[in-house]
Structure 1
């Protein structure tokens, strides 16, 4: 499946997501950048536009597909793309990529959870995916996790706490000037 055969950049990106094919993804992104240069557009904006607007037949975005298939290396490349929407919602279940990642972990044999599953969830959390978003069934990713997978539940709970605490720190810093005891009369 190459561009000469008529595959669009969107199709090539989805193929790379399904197969964890980093070479195909990097080549496709390079081709998008090249076409932006020829048309006078901004390469990073065009790459983000192509990735953010790509949807498969059931409404999944590129991160949804990569998370569904456990394509860690492809996720790593995608998450490095400036302007990529990381908390997009799919059309069917209103899942985020993090919901899909938890479903992927649940599909694995228990012996593969830590080695193959948890890193998929962790890379999405590290990129800033919000574990507090609820899907169509009103479930957060942690509520989808297999109850026996206490490590995954802990990873997601820590992600929720970090998001919550991050918001609290920003609010405290934005309260305005407070002064210090040494500044008082």
Structure 2
């Protein structure tokens, strides 16, 4: 009669990674919606793309603007790979379109600050959304009798200035390219008598 050694139960399987938890991009978007800097920084440790959109095409930057998450906004804009000009899928809006459209009447100057932050980060004022609107087109029509200190007028001025500066930068680049043209010493037209 032979006895077989008793077997012990197999070890339990290793714990599975929590597939029920939020992904790094979901946490990034949640941080942008709630102005949670710690959550944003943790999510960024796991992400290679800060511009990853959700199903609506909104990125963390879109949500930071929608929810006026000022602390998180600064961190997002400082990120090396942040693209300030991505359009969402719904209306084709960039974060600048959203900042111009949304109003936070209870926080005076917030809307202007959001617009200026995006402009300082290089937001393009000439991008058109699905309705063929540039951000400046979203503002109420300019009124000659308007209060020039109103947020609408300050935003209009900031958008016009940014567009003019971008236009000048482009024309300066063209002039600089012309200045760098090579002179061929054997060219007959360049010989002087």
TM-score, normalised with respect to structure 1: 0.76
Q: Which moved more, 1:169-178 or 1:64-73?
A: 169-178
- Structure 1 distance, partners of 2:173, 2:74, is 27
Find the residue that maps to 2:112 and give its secondary structure: helix
Partner of 1:6: 21
Partner of 1:60: 58
Alignment of 1:1-185 (within 5 A): 6-30=21-45, 32=46, 47=48, 49=49, 51-52=50-51, 54-104=52-102, 107-109=103-105, 112-114=107-109, 116-147=110-141, 149-177=152-180
RMSD: 2.4
Find the residue that maps to 2:179 and give its secondary structure: coil
TM-score, normalised with respect to structure 2: 0.73
Q: Which moved more, 1:120-129 or 1:21-30?
A: 21-30
Give the conservation status (yes or no) of the 8 Å contact 1:68–1:103: no
- Structure 2 distance, partners of 1:177, 1:18, is 48
Find the residue that maps to 1:75 and give its secondary structure: helix
**Rg: which structure is higher?**
2
Structure 2: give runs of 5+ residues left out of the alignment: 1-16, 147-151, 183-191
- Structure 2 distance, partners of 1:176, 1:124, is 32
Q: CA deviation at 1:56?
A: 2.4
Q: Count matched residues.
A: 158
Q: CA deviation at 1:176?
A: 3.2
Structure 1: give runs of 5+ residues left out of the alignment: 33-45
- Structure 2 distance, partners of 1:28, 1:108, is 28
Q: CA deviation at 1:98?
A: 0.6
